[in-house]
Structure 1
Amino acid sequence: MKLLMIGGTAFLGRAVVAAALARGDDVTMFNRGKTNHDLFPGVARIQGDRTNPADLAQLKSGRWDAAIDTCGYLSAAVGATVAALQDQVDHYTFISSISAYADNGPLNQDESAPTLDLGDGPEDAADMPTYGARKARCEQAAEALMPGRVLHLRAGLLVGPHDTSGRFPYWVGRIARGGAVLAPDGPDHPLQLIDVRDLATWNLHMAETRQAGVFNATGPDHDLTLGALLAACREASASAAELTWVGEEFLAEHDVTPFSDLPLWLPNSPEYAGFMRYDCTKAQRAGLRYRPLLDTARDTLAWLRTRPTIVESAPERSQPGLSAQREQELLAAWRK
């Protein structure tokens, strides 16, 4: 398959390019050349900014079977990119997000659930509260220009090597350090996530077979809990870490911020009841498969060990998670 990759050097894009090359696909990357520019030295590149019409015009000279867009956050930029490519590619993948849904309360929502509506509001890529609504608007922009030829993947929490978000890596690294570990709520707290490499491999299959429409893309294909995730992290590092499950009321009283101070944890609230419980049956029937979580934890740990400040000391302050000092202060207060 001749593939045009919009982006291709950060996390999901990187995983897609690596999987495509492993399959023997002919890959071209279109990006600004600012992130990991030394990756994939043998791959053809078109350097440009998708917000610059002159740069997008470069794409008019090419022809590809499919394009995959992993870095669309503003509908004008996505629309301009699709407009430039609508006669140059047969198929377009837009990586959207589970966050596009309007209500995280209902359990087991499928692709027919309503999405957020930004209305006439402006779009700002730095405005995280509008992230989901912007993704929904990007979907609409792409579909309007290539109706019936766009695959919209509403991805959940992506994990695996090269995850610079620090969310899953926080737990892998923290468990590897051992000692007393503060864990939120309880071991039955529900989770959904997907290894970035599994999403990449399936995306390529879907593009090659020209599958279009909307798909929820998270996992696994069974109920996953925080307890099971931390157990996989402990096995991955052969750690003797001791978990202390701390109640939500205590965490709230001590100003512990969900998903930031303790990644992957959201309070047991009707508002968030369905956020980690989306229905991915459609994607699974279309061939989405998942590797064991233990494999993901092991591979993430191996990558983290090339970044030892995360594994062996407190998280970098640009990363989510409790500092070592803050964690021990909270544990001491909990035990009183």
Structure 2
Amino acid sequence: MRVLVLGGTHHVGRALVEAALKRGDDVTTLNRGLSRPPAPGVRALIADRADPDAVRRALADGEWDAVLDTWAWAPNAVRHTARLLADRAGHYGYVSSRGVHTWPWPPSADETAPLVDGDPGSDDGSDYAAAKRGGELAVQEFFGGRALLARAGMILGPYEDVGRIPWWLRRLERGGRVLAPGPEEAPLQFIDVRDLADWMLASAERGTHGACTATGLPGAITVGDLLREMLTAIGSSSELVWAPIPWLLERGLPLGMELGLCLPDDPHPTGLHDADVSAALATGLTCRSLAETIAATWTWLQAEGDPTPRPDAPSPDTWLDKALEQRLLDELT
């Protein structure tokens, strides 16, 4: 296919570009050109998505079989590109989020769960859920039945710049006794960024459209599985010391929030890790093993070092204060 990736240098965008090149697709990217150089074989267009005139000039020519958009801020940027490309692209795949559903999420929610309000013409990206919903509406306005809304859950794997798995890998690498948010059998649901990329490209080729919840199988892994797999990948002998999340929150430590195990005002949120993914599975989504995800993330982290955090990502210090961790470990002794 002829593929246009709007983004293409960080996390999901980078995975999309690599997956498309591996398939043999003809790949064009559009981004600001301020971070990573374009991958070999990629036609790189330069423009700031927040500057409609610059985007219009950069995309003045060209036709594509598929557009894949990773934008996560003001939805009017999505609307502008969707309008611009409506007659020159066959498919528009938008990386959305389960966050477009109204909170609290019901258990085992699927695509029919209630949605937040969104304005496709808004220039305000401060409310993530509303911005993503506005982006969905913008894509549907111009592509209708040619649009895929990939409502991703927690996205892990190589290139993650949110501060989840890289943070935990570094913490476990330091060794010693490690405070872990329990219970260890708490379920986790996530999607490897490479599985998301492969599925979105295959969906574009097949013409899959509509909204799909894109995350891993519910009940497949636990937080204990995740942290123990990290210990294996690192070759670490760190000791995991499990502590109940309400106990941690009472003591001012929001550990577990980074994995969606708790929220600032809710130690036991429902609906975060039991999404119904039957629609995505029916359209060809497959999920690799936890071991593959962790091993690849560790290999990337060792090769390239810690990623520059996203501007909207919490500081790593949010999850753990070293002195407080030691005091709590002493308390649990």
TM-score normalized with structure 2 length: 0.90
Does the C-alpha gap of structure 1 residues 149 and 108 become closer, same or farther in structure 2, counting only changes over 3 Å?
same
Q: 1:265 aligns with which of 261, 264, 268?
A: 261
Does the C-alpha gap of structure 1 residues 309 and 110 become closer, same or farther in structure 2, counting only changes over 3 Å?
closer
Q: CA RMSD in A?
A: 2.4
Shift, 1:296, TM fit: 1.0
C-alpha distance in 2, partners of 1:123/1:53?
12
Does the C-alpha gap of structure 1 residues 123 and 327 become closer, same or farther in structure 2, counting only changes over 3 Å?
farther
C-alpha distance in 2, partners of 1:53/1:304?
35
- Which amino acid is the alignment partner of residue 46 of structure 2? Q
Does the C-alpha gap of structure 1 residues 229 and 91 become closer, same or farther in structure 2, counting only changes over 3 Å?
same
Look up the match of 2:272.
275
Q: 2:205 aligns with which of 200, 208, 223?
A: 208
Look up the match of 2:315.
318
Correspondence list, 1:59-208, <5 A: 59-118=59-118, 124-125=124-125, 127=126, 130-208=127-205
The 4+ residue runs of structure 1 with deviation greater than 4 A are 118-123, 267-271, 307-310
- Which amino acid is the alignment partner of residue 237 of structure 2? A
C-alpha distance in 2, partners of 1:245/1:219?
24
State the SS of the aligned residue for 1:107: coil
C-alpha distance in 2, partners of 1:222/1:257?
23
- Which amino acid is the alignment partner of residue 55 of structure 2? L
Look up the match of 1:314.
none
- Which amino acid is the alignment partner of residue 81 of structure 2? T
State the SS of the aligned residue for 2:165: helix
Shift, 1:198, TM fit: 0.7
C-alpha distance in 2, partners of 1:119/1:43?
33
Look up the match of 2:311.
none
Shift, 1:208, TM fit: 1.0
Correspondence list, 1:324-335, <5 A: 324-335=322-333
Identity %: 38
Shift, 1:216, TM fit: 0.3
Shift, 1:134, TM fit: 1.5
State the SS of the aligned residue for 2:144: coil
Number of residue-to-residue matches in the alignment: 324
Shift, 1:102, TM fit: 0.3
Contact 2:120 2:138 in 1 (8 A): no
Deviates more, 1:279-288 or 1:295-304: 295-304
C-alpha distance in 2, partners of 1:290/1:277?
15
Look up the match of 1:245.
242
State the SS of the aligned residue for 1:14: helix
Does the C-alpha gap of structure 1 residues 318 and 72 become closer, same or farther in structure 2, counting only changes over 3 Å?
closer
TM-score normalized with structure 1 length: 0.89
Does the C-alpha gap of structure 1 residues 94 and 218 become closer, same or farther in structure 2, counting only changes over 3 Å?
same
- Which amino acid is the alignment partner of residue 188 of structure 2? L
Look up the match of 2:310.
none
C-alpha distance in 1, partners of 2:4/2:140?
18
Shift, 1:158, TM fit: 0.8
Look up the match of 1:302.
299
**Which stretches in structure 1 are left out of the alignment for 5+ residues?**
311-316
**Which stretches in structure 2 are left out of the alignment for 5+ residues?**
308-313
Does the C-alpha gap of structure 1 residues 39 and 318 become closer, same or farther in structure 2, counting only changes over 3 Å?
farther
Does the C-alpha gap of structure 1 residues 122 and 76 become closer, same or farther in structure 2, counting only changes over 3 Å?
closer
State the SS of the aligned residue for 2:60: helix
C-alpha distance in 2, partners of 1:328/1:308?
26
- Which amino acid is the alignment partner of residue 203 of structure 2? M
Contact 2:119 2:137 in 1 (8 A): no
Deviates more, 1:112-121 or 1:189-198: 112-121
- Which amino acid is the alignment partner of residue 321 of structure 1? W
C-alpha distance in 1, partners of 2:119/2:210?
23
State the SS of the aligned residue for 1:91: strand
